[in-house]
Structure 1
Amino acid sequence: MSIPPVESHLVVFPLEAWGHARPLITLCARVAKAGTTVVTFFTTVFFVERAKAELLRNFEADEDVFLSRIRIVGLEHTGTVTSRALEDAFAAAWRKLDVGEEVVCVKTGSTFPSGPKPNAVIFDCFAHQPLRDAKAISGDGVKAYMWFPGLLSSFFTMFGPESLGGKGNVRLKAEEEAHRTGKTPVEVASEMFQVREDVIRVSGMPPMYDYEHEPQDFPLPEEITAKIFIPAYESLMITDGVFIVTSESYEPEAVAALRGWYKELSKPAHVVGPLLPSGTRALAEEKQQSPLAQAIETFLDETLQTSGKQSLLYISFGSIFWPVKNPDTVWAFLDVVMELGIPFIFSHASPLAGVLPDAFTEKVNAYGKGLLSPWSPQQLILNHPATGWFVSHGGQNGALEAITAGVPLIMWPFGADQPLNAVHLSENLGVAYELIEVRSGHGLKPILRNGRKAAGTTEALQAEARDVLMKAFGEDGAKKRVKLQQLRGEVLSEWEEGGASKRDFLAFLDTLSKTT
């Protein structure tokens, strides 16, 4: 196969969060298949092999020549997600690319020629220092874009101006208040991000109390919060544009607000969701990432035979989140699942989950219709005809995967974009249920839109679980499934010819060619 020569060089740098890296890998694959761009994908030493496996899911066997244009380069990393060691490693590697020197993957020892000088770079929305380093080294010679893989409405609350429901320039406000009070800017910023009872209004969402954005007691260390959010608004202003992994049909009001804001900024806003692997390798390579893949597939096939289509409940809180302060809520919920005789797969990938209690594991084994998995091939499960519902924390990747697979959701949100996704799917779109009685901490306070307040007891949780599950697998759930099918078609069409995501993607490719 002959392909056009390389004309441009795109660099990408997600941090060590799989929900951030995974859709960016798919975007890189689509850029490479356009034929004229080499892509350097910087990641941590711990993500190199996983990134390679995920990348393969996006290519057919006869597309290896395009695959070869993506170089996965592992960087030294210690400590937290935004460690100084990783930031320094990126800056050193960027300097090499900027002057035409080869870069080395510290995981494999492989060396990669610099290729053309980078003319575009996509940074993780929390990679503030690497963004500044690249701009300091290369100046306006490189176009820098922010990568936000979450719900767009939550982007406004985290990074946006006050007019769109955000906090604006946190650093400037924190320094002014620190000068006035004698506190440190970090202390002031931490206070700014403490949960309040203010009403937050964001495009496309009903008004919500500030504390509703944290329905679970899942606190982040203050130093991480400060490092992530103090420079956020200014980072957005430094960048030359933004990538949002949502779709216009999923968040029409929010996308309209984003485009209006970025028109004022005279910058492009690329809305490119959903970004999921497709083709003959997509499911086969995904199975290679889970040691229990074969057992899971067998379990799904057997469930289909014994319980029928759409009979299984899939449960996952992703790779990070877990009810660390109240893990008993999980066991109480699953007790109801087993009481109702529902087959289930429970994925517990978060390191915070630790080792599951022996008594619970024994109970599931005795039940005979449940499977416990530390890492699951999610697309395989969601696309299997046995799967009926997905209990999810509500992260954007999982939500879009479920929508594109036609599987309705039962939401159990923790923080970040999840609470807004839960409200959007259950209230705005009517294709999901949201669990309220699983809440803890600030989540036990009243909900603005309906005045409801979680009781916070095991009895209330199990009563709600029983009610929701019976509805989900009954007539009410069937109506939600019909609504979801329409949404599914609209979201999938975004990457077809004339679709909004395809249009924004092609506009970005055109920008690449014009900056060479």
Structure 2
Amino acid sequence: MAKTVVLYPGLTVSHFVPMVHLAGTLVDHGYAVSVALIDPAVNGDPAFRAVVARAVASMPSVRFHALPPAEDAPMLSPDAPFVPRYIDIVGRHNDRLREFLCSSTAHAVVVDSLSVEALGVAKRLGIPGYVMFTSGAAALVAFVQLPSVLAQVRARFEDLGDAPLELFGLPPMPASHLLGEMLEDPESDTYKATMTSLDGIPEADGILVNTFESLDARPVAALRDPRCLPDRIMPPVYCVGPFVGGVGEAKERHECLTWLDGQPDRSVVFLCFGSSGYHSAEQLKEIAVGLEKCGHRFLWVVRTLFTDDPDALLPDGFLDRTGGRGVVVKQWAPQAEVLRHRATGAFVTHCGWNSVLEGVTAGVPMLCWPLYAEQKMNMLRMVGEMGLAAEMVGWQQGLVESAEVEGKVRLVMDSEDGRELRAAAAAHKDGGVAAWSDGGSSRAALARFLSDVDRRWQGRTRSAEAA
């Protein structure tokens, strides 16, 4: 009988998809996988519900179990603070998760990094509990240290402004580049919920990270150093990525891929800002003017909350004037496929970690335009240590002007600096391939994780027999 691992994925696309990729990997290694699902309807984003539906339909070897709805459970919505609402939803489902685990033979539970409260459910049942951290190792280094660093600096992070924050294992980082939730009033529910969640991550029996060691060598080494968390014991960290790409196959090939087929190699700039990346009408016009003036081919995914017709927000005649060399896609495009296409030459990204990994594994140089979450932290590493990206600096003032869009696109596509970015991107692409090859670091990390699961389960069995 196959050993069973229960996965408890997150409630957003960026957290759910890597967990589903982990499910497929575990099945490939002979494990039975059950995925416990909080009702996807708690997330008002139809894109999330669609991704969950595709996963259920396309993975018959994985058992998806819908937890009974919790009474009076709130919904995630743009008009409510995200983190405290998210944690409230998870907490209200703890009893449902416990009932499911009691009815199954779980050898281990892997919970999303925003659902660490659920670790307590597994531990009370004597089941090994792990965290799936869906960002990179550098963000993990920062997150596990920040609760104790706050006590040392004796100031609100917001009050530090751009003052450099010193964290073990990382270059100095402006305090303003932290998660937005950490820059709020320390007495607010959002701040307290965020810090409590981060503080719970090291309580896991181990942490799986969606990265590979050659990409995150310095922060991975820091996570294994006792100085990273001097007053606590840091659990083992397993770099098991890169998990990239979507879930399930589309019924039809997206028309933007057909357009790319007709373009020269590495000639197209791809602009996409994630499943929740929106820009103001003013910003959309600045992007459009910059793309028109730069003269390069482009594929631009436009998401907007203001209208069902984003074309109406673009400058008059823009689509006609650029129709021969540019395409505007509404709401969604198959990002991983676009990035892997031979015609794609650069990627303008919000620096969400899934997007970073998709750019890295495609070997595409990037232009960084962070919007929210840990994206500013990711940007610092992409531009600095990784050396595969340049920064759109206008985001810091709240508006990237057309001249910068034009200039940065030309930099990455035409200049010697751009060729250096491309070379660095190609080197990291090779590292991603090597990580899952025979003898690769991610393959070895997964083997260590599975060995730890088996060891802990055997220890639990022996204890039960002795009792």
**Structure 2 length-normalised TM:** 0.81
* Structure 2 unmatched ranges of 5 or more: 42-47, 77-81, 459-467
Asked whether 1:340 is paired with 2:294, we answer: yes
Q: How far apart are 1:29 and its partner, in Å?
A: 0.7
8 Å contact 1:45–1:74 — kept in the other structure? no
Please name the residue that 2:109 is paired with.
121
Asked whether 1:156 is paired with 2:141, we answer: yes
Please name the residue that 1:393 is paired with.
350
Query: For residue 450 of structure 2, what is the amino acid of its counterpart?
Result: L
8 Å contact 1:322–1:352 — kept in the other structure? no
Name the CA distance, whole Å, in 2 between partners of 1:84 and 1:153.
Answer: 23
Within-5 A mapping of 1:292-303:
293-302=253-262
Please name the residue that 1:130 is paired with.
118
Name the CA distance, whole Å, in 1 between partners of 2:199 and 2:254.
Answer: 47
Query: For residue 271 of structure 2, what is the amino acid of its counterpart?
Result: I
2:75 to 79, 91, 110: 79
Distance 1:74 1:315, change over 3 A: farther
Distance 1:144 1:194, change over 3 A: farther
Name the CA distance, whole Å, in 2 between partners of 1:391 and 1:126.
Answer: 27
Query: For residue 53 of structure 1, what is the amino acid of its counterpart?
Result: R
Name the CA distance, whole Å, in 2 between partners of 1:364 and 1:22.
Answer: 35
Within-5 A mapping of 1:85-104:
86-87=89-90, 90-100=93-103
Query: For residue 45 of structure 1, what is the amino acid of its counterpart?
Result: P
Name the CA distance, whole Å, in 1 between partners of 2:185 and 2:336.
Answer: 29
Q: How far apart are 1:21 and its partner, in Å?
A: 1.0
Aligned residue pairs total 432
Query: For residue 131 of structure 2, what is the amino acid of its counterpart?
Result: M
Please name the residue that 1:258 is paired with.
223
Asked whether 1:376 is paired with 2:333, we answer: yes
- Greater shift in the superposed pair: 242-251 or 84-93: 84-93
Query: For residue 168 of structure 1, what is the amino acid of its counterpart?
Result: S
1:68 to 26, 43, 61: 61
Asked whether 1:484 is paired with 2:425, we answer: yes
Please name the residue that 1:62 is paired with.
none
Name the CA distance, whole Å, in 2 between partners of 1:220 and 1:389.
Answer: 38
1:421 to 374, 378, 389: 378
Please name the residue that 1:463 is paired with.
403
Distance 1:428 1:37, change over 3 A: same
Name the CA distance, whole Å, in 1 between partners of 2:362 and 2:56.
Answer: 20
Query: For residue 269 of structure 2, what is the amino acid of its counterpart?
Result: L
- Greater shift in the superposed pair: 361-370 or 478-487: 361-370
Q: How far apart are 1:239 and its partner, in Å?
A: 1.8
**Structure 1 length-normalised TM:** 0.74
Name the CA distance, whole Å, in 2 between partners of 1:33 and 1:18.
Answer: 23
Please name the residue that 1:497 is paired with.
438
Query: For residue 389 of structure 1, what is the amino acid of its counterpart?
Result: A
Q: How far apart are 1:31 and its partner, in Å?
A: 0.6
Please name the residue that 1:318 is paired with.
274
Name the CA distance, whole Å, in 1 between partners of 2:118 and 2:148.
Answer: 21
- Greater shift in the superposed pair: 145-154 or 310-319: 145-154
Q: How far apart are 1:407 and its partner, in Å?
A: 1.2
Residue deviations 1:401-450 (CA, integer Å, cap 9, x gap): 01111111111012332222222222223221111023226xxxxxxxxx
8 Å contact 1:75–1:89 — kept in the other structure? no
Q: How far apart are 1:32 and its partner, in Å?
A: 1.4
Query: For residue 501 of structure 1, what is the amino acid of its counterpart?
Result: S
Please name the residue that 1:35 is paired with.
30
Please name the residue that 2:250 is paired with.
287
Please name the residue that 2:200 is paired with.
235
Query: For residue 39 of structure 1, what is the amino acid of its counterpart?
Result: S
CA RMSD of aligned residues (A): 3.4
Name the CA distance, whole Å, in 1 between partners of 2:160 and 2:15.
Answer: 25
